[in-house]
Amino acid sequence: MNWNQFLAPVASGVTVALILAGLRSLWRRTRLPTGLSQRMTRRNYLAEMLVIAKNDQVDRLDALVPNLLPADGSKVLAKIQESWARINERRGVRVITRTEPVSLTAGAELLGAGIEVRVSRALTSDHLSYHVFSGADQHTVLNRRTGGKDRPERLDEISAAKVFRSHFDEVWTKAEPLESVLAAEVLAGSDDTWPHLADRIRELRTAYHLSPKAEDAVLRHLAFRHRAPVIFVTGLPGAGKSLVRRALAAELRRWRLQVDELSDYVYAFEDFLHSLMLLDDGRGTGYSAQFGGAFQVEREENLRPALHALGHRVWQNRRSSPITLVEFARADTIGALQVFGDEVLAASQIIHVRATDGIRADRLARRGEPPRLSVAGQSINLLVSDEHRLPSNAAHKLYSKDDFALLKAQKNLAGRVHLVDNDTDGTSHVDEQLTSFIETVVRPYRNLAA
CATH classification (class only), 34-175: alpha beta
Per-residue pLDDT tens for 164-215?
999 999 999 999 999 999 999 999 988 889 999 999 999 999 999 999 999 9
386 compared with 112, residue with greater pLDDT = 112
Instruction: Give me the torsion for CA of 55, 60, 66, 72, rounded to 10°.
Output: 50
Which helix or strand (DSSP H or E) is residue 328 part of? none
Distance CA 212, CA 217 (A): 9
Per-residue pLDDT tens for 242-274?
999 999 999 999 999 999 999 999 999 899 898
Give the pLDDT mean for 338-357.
95
Beta bridge partners of 118: 96, 177
| Whether the predicted pLDDT of 311 surpasses 60 | yes
Q: What is the DSSP string of 388-415?
A: ----HHHHHHT--S--HHHHHT-GGGTT
* Structural domain spans, the chain: 34-175, 228-433
Looking at domain 228-433, its CATH superfamily turns out to be P-loop containing nucleotide triphosphate hydrolases (3.40.50.300)
Band (399; pLDDT cuts 50, 70, 90): confident
Cα separations (Å) of 321 from 72, 182, 277, 342?
34, 16, 33, 19
* Residue 9: per-residue pLDDT: 46
Kindly report the average pLDDT of the chain as a whole number.
89
Per-residue pLDDT tens for 123-152?
988 889 999 999 998 999 999 877 777 889
* Residue 296: per-residue pLDDT: 87
Band (395; pLDDT cuts 50, 70, 90): low
Per-residue pLDDT tens for 52-111?
999 999 999 999 999 999 999 999 999 999 999 999 999 999 999 999 999 999 999 999
Whether the CB-CB separation of 287 and 351 falls below 8 Å is answered with: no
